[in-house]
Amino acid sequence: MTSLSIIGGGSLGLLLGGKLSRAGCAVTIVTKTAEQAERLAEAGITIEDAVAGEPSVTVPIEAVAVEDASATDGLALLTVKQTALTDNFMKWLADIVPIGATVVLFQNGVGHVDKLRLGLPGRELLVAVTTEGALRTGPTTVLHTGKGEIRIGEWGLSHDEEWDANNQNSREDALKTPFVLESLFKQAGFTVILSNKLEEAVWRKLLINAVINPLTALLRVRNGQLPATRERMELMRALFDETYTILSNRGLAEERDALWQSVLAVCDSTKRNESSMLQDVLSGRETEVDAINGAVSRLAAEQGMKAPWNDAICALVKAT
Ligand code: KPL
């Protein structure tokens, strides 16, 4: 039986934890508070399914609070937000993740990979980009609001290097961590794609988050309500166009119109979702706007470009 740790008991941590545990993995969730760890250990994780209309399931789970965690398993999924990656947290992480372990990074935005590479030397870091929709409805319950996919790969790996994604043709390949993860996630019912071009997926997700997350947070609407009026569509399009131009200079290759349609499709496929930024704003938590729209402005500045829409949106979300 594979054992793995999930660091972060938010919506994504609970969704992954519940589904992987149900598929037979020995999962330990590391939570921010002792109270959540106790509740999870007592009650398990309940997944409510808003996607296929399946009945909700409750799965037993091991859980431990950050302050009580001693060491993670050799495979750990990091599902905390970028805002959690403080100096203290990074120090704690370096103490509990063993040398040689693999850590899969699920953060939105950009900037975290370099930080984690510096903070976790000697560990294998993989990056995951997911479009799964999840909404935490309590300390032990999560609503699966939209079926998406999980792309996994290495940061900075260009095509054909090292491992040939989706072409597992030897027993050795099958033992490499990306293939182990692929098989675990598939067994748990996720659509998983191993990618040698993960940066493209990161830019794509950054663009989607840069449009949907701050606007839903500022307008206090669910994802499906965002494109519901002409005025909101105009705001979306202006933010989209500016962000697309900046990211296409960095290697985002997909056509502008196809990506605009993808943004609208994500609003639709996650229509019942409160975006993670809206959830943060509503709970009074710090948002990831700096790692998303702030990062787009910084990428623009590196190219000698201006990003007035991203600057303004970032300032507005911070002032909310
Ligand atoms: O990634 C998301 C988020 O909320 O952070 C989207 C895709 C917008 C789904 O809500």
Structural domain for 33, as ranges: 3-196
The DSSP call for residue 253 is -
186 noted as active-site residue: no
Q: Please, what's the b/e burial string for 198-222 (b: 16 or more CB within 10 A of its CB; e: otherwise)?
A: bbbbbbbbbbbbbbbbbbbbbeebb
Please indicate, yes or no, whether residues 59 and 163 belong to a single structural domain of this protein: yes
Please indicate, yes or no, whether residues 84 and 190 belong to a single structural domain of this protein: yes
Q: Please indicate whether residue 212, judged by its CB atom, sits closer than 6 Å to ligand 1.
A: yes
Give pLDDT, residue 170: 54
CATH of the domain at 104: 3.40.50.720
Residues of the chain short of pLDDT 70, as ranges, are 157-175
Please indicate, yes or no, whether residues 226 and 309 belong to a single structural domain of this protein: yes
Give pLDDT, residue 160: 44
Please indicate, yes or no, whether residues 181 and 45 belong to a single structural domain of this protein: yes
Please indicate, yes or no, whether residues 183 and 59 belong to a single structural domain of this protein: yes
Ligand 1, pocket-test mutation among 266, 277, 289, most atoms within 8 A of CB: 266
CA–centroid distance, residue 224 to ligand 1 (Å) = 11
Please indicate, yes or no, whether residues 165 and 282 belong to a single structural domain of this protein: no
Give pLDDT, residue 175: 57
Give pLDDT, residue 114: 92
Please indicate, yes or no, whether residues 97 and 139 belong to a single structural domain of this protein: yes
Q: Please indicate whether residue 131, judged by its CB atom, sits closer than 6 Å to ligand 1.
A: yes
Boundary of a domain, candidates 196, 220, 243: 196
Please indicate, yes or no, whether residues 44 and 119 belong to a single structural domain of this protein: yes
Q: Give the tens place of pLDDT for each residue, 155-171.
A: 875 544 445 545 555 54
C-alpha distances (whole Å) from 183 to each of 20, 57, 147, 187 are 11, 22, 18, 6
CA–centroid distance, residue 134 to ligand 1 (Å) = 9
Please indicate, yes or no, whether residues 146 and 177 belong to a single structural domain of this protein: yes
Structural domain count of the chain: 2
Q: Please indicate whether residue 270, judged by its CB atom, sits closer than 6 Å to ligand 1.
A: yes
Give pLDDT, residue 273: 84
Give pLDDT, residue 243: 98
**How large is the ipTM?**
0.97
Burial degree of 94 (CB within 10 A; 0-12, 13-18, 19+): middle
Task: Report d(CA 81, CA 310) in Å as an integer.
Answer: 20
CA–centroid distance, residue 209 to ligand 1 (Å) = 6
Q: Annotated catalytic residue: which of 205, 271, 306, 318?
A: 205
Tell me the angle at which helices 230-248 and 256-269 cross, rounded to the nearest 10 degrees: 130
Please indicate, yes or no, whether residues 269 and 235 belong to a single structural domain of this protein: yes
CA–centroid distance, residue 126 to ligand 1 (Å) = 20
Give pLDDT, residue 145: 84
